[in-house]
Homo-oligomer: A and B are copies of this chain.
Amino acid sequence: MTTVRVELDQRAYDIRIGAGLLGRDTFADVAQPKARALIVTNTTVAPLYAQALQQALEPHFAEVLQCVLPDGEQYKDWPTLNRIFDALLERQCDRKTTLFALGGGVIGDMTGFAAACYMRGVPFVQVPTTLLAQVDSSVGGKTAINHPLGKNMIGAFYQPRLVVADVETLRTLPPREVSAGLAEIIKHGAIADAEFFGWLETHMERLRALEHDAVVHAVRRSCEIKAAVVAQDETESGLRAILNFGHTFGHAIEAGMGYGQWLHGEAVGAGMVIAAGVSERLGLLDPASAVRLQELVRRAGLPVEAPALPLQRYLDLMQVDKKNDAGNVRFVLLQGLGGAVLRAAPQDLVTSSLLAHGAIRDASPAMSGPGSPASRTAGSLAA
């Protein structure tokens, strides 16, 4: 077992990473022998790991309850969150009750937000069981639910007391979900650590085969990078934005395809390639590095092309349109592999990278004819 410390003064906490942690005495630090624990999980994860966690917690708490939610991003909403509150209130749980999030990012985000709100805050512990949750969503204290009008719009910055990442649980994860998690790992290397990026190039096959040593190293290094950024900017007022590398394009892909079609990590994979393309066009990244990124994304089992949607649709989704001063949309770009900058990008370079990576130039006469809104936009902005 290895430990990464997230330095946040009084809210500092440990991330424990290893194989078989659910079976061991990993939870002694957060023991509350007179209080209750509530495991929040979903219908997919519960049959796999809830019993192991239940057994691991029972020695440390007066009682261990479970709340099993339906599985899926579409349930990351208020009615489902409310089932956690129902479970707590039906059993008259008090402010000492600790919540355990057992599952992927959806369960982690919801449980964390429930813990932030229940009686204005109860302790919680993250037990992430997807690769994405282990390297990304369980670290940093962002919690949220979705609103019909926007993803992750309602939430809190609320730090867990402990994160326990048992890489053993990844064995049951569908390969597509493994790849999605690899996207965020690649992201961490690309924005902050060229050496780690190189290590990923060497170990990608072992990672996809879920070899313990390789996975533990990748999870640890990812957590270290994210934790260092979060420690400097807990509430995303500046630096933390670099963690969104690939995400402006990624979100446009997710929204453009309809949420749930592309996994978040898949969209981020293609999004990073497009963002690297913009970096290259701005002269920030050399072409060879852009190719290395694209290759690593591909070898992670992720798409390197955006889905074929009209260019204007992408620009609309990113709010790069004529109503907006294009210079106002800032992108996280790579300044060499291992370095990130936040930079406004001229729309023609954004357009060019999108077209080079799958977006289709719209053929409808209304959009492409001379004097059409689309060409006017491009024209006025290129001028």
Contacts and interface: CB of A to CB of B under 8 A. Distances in A.
Contact of A157 (B82, B85, B121, B142): B121
A363 interface: no
Contacts of A378: none
A156 B78 CA distance: 16
| Oligomer: number of copies | 2
B118 A153 contact: yes
Interface in A296-328: none
B89 A121 contact: no
Contact of A142 (B120, B144, B147): B120
A153 B78 CA distance: 15
Contact of A154 (B85, B143, B155): B85
Interface string A140-153: 00111001011001
A90 B150 CA distance: 10
A362 interface: no
Contact of A147 (B89, B144, B154): B89
Interface string A108-136: 00000000111111000000000000000
Contacts of A86: 149
Contacts of A155: 117, 119-120
Interface residues of A, number: 25
Contacts of A120: 142-144, 155-157, 235-236
A318 to B, nearest CB: 14
B119 A89 contact: no
Q: Is the contact region of chain A dominated by helix, strand, or loop, or is it mixed? A: mixed
Interface string A157-194: 10000000000000000000000000000000000000
Contacts of A235: 120-121
Interface in A228-263: 235-236
Given A78-B78, A156-B121, A147 B116 contact: no
Given A78-B78, A235-B120, A90 B156 contact: no
Nearest to A145: B117
Interface in A55-84: 78, 82
Contacts of A153: 85, 89, 118-119
A149 B78 contact: no
A95 to B, nearest CB: 9
Contacts of A85: 147, 149, 153-154
Nearest to A150: B89
A267 to B, nearest CB: 21
A56 B120 CA distance: 32
Contact of A78 (B82, B119, B144): B82
A223 to B, nearest CB: 21
A119 B157 CA distance: 10
Contacts of A144: 120
Contacts of A157: 120-121
28 contacts: A78-B78, A78-B82, A85-B149, A85-B153, A85-B154, A89-B147, A89-B150, A89-B153, A90-B149, A116-B156, A117-B117, A117-B154, A117-B155, A117-B156, A118-B153, A118-B154, A119-B153, A119-B155, A120-B142, A120-B143, A120-B144, A120-B155, A120-B157, A120-B235, A120-B236, A121-B156, A121-B157, A156-B156
Given A116-B156, A117-B155, A120-B157, 9 more contacts: A78-B82, A82-B147, A85-B149, A89-B150, A117-B117, A120-B142, A120-B156, A120-B235, A121-B157
Nearest 6 interchain pairs by C-beta:
A89-B149, A120-B155, A117-B154, A120-B157, A89-B150, A85-B147
